[in-house]
Amino acid sequence: MDEQGARIVAGMLRNEPGALFLQCSLFLFLHHAMLCCAPFSFSVEVTMTHHDSVRAQLHTIETLLRQHQLWQDTAPQPEAFASTQPFCLDTLAPFEWLQWVLIPRMHALLEGGHPLPQAFAVSPYYEMALDATHPARDVMLAELERLDALFSGDNA
């Protein structure tokens, strides 16, 4: 394969629709010697959108709630959602608010393609609301801080 052909193939192997099919086809049909001696390299880039990152973090938080047996099968009474307090703190326990308010509302925004909040932080509330001896406190705070970071621009 000449240099121009190598550049064309390398360009086709980037993260584009059909790239995986093209990669498989090339490996099946190119001669073994051409692959061993080809003067090019390629990589596949996977880029998550902001929405994808938020969705993944919400799933992580849900998984954590389930692992610690904090996920409920039955929703609170409808009156509990009529609270005017932040985090429904007068009607819902902190983990109930995560399960029944934050996670579903964020998923609704994501599913509908709606804009996400610009400034968002829930971890400070959980630092105060969760008892220091709660077994899930530290891991939950870490995941909530990761969620907050997605809204602060600090994705590190």
State residue 118's pLDDT score.
Answer: 86
SS3 119: coil
CA-to-CA separations, 44 to 15, 19, 41, 47, in angstroms, rounded: 5, 9, 11, 10
Element (H, E) at 51: helix 50-67
State residue 89's pLDDT score.
Answer: 92
Quick: pLDDT tens for 5-64. Answer: 544 544 444 444 544 444 444 444 444 445 455 555 555 566 789 899 999 999 999 999
Calculated CA dihedral for residues 86, 91, 97, 102, nearest 10 degrees = -50
Cα–Cα nearest to 79, from 87, 70, 88: 88
What is the pTM assigned to this prediction? 0.68
> pLDDT class for 111, splitting at 50, 70, 90?
very high
Over pLDDT 70: what percentage of the chain? Answer: 68
> pLDDT class for 120, splitting at 50, 70, 90?
confident
Residue-averaged pLDDT of the chain: 80
> pLDDT class for 2, splitting at 50, 70, 90?
low
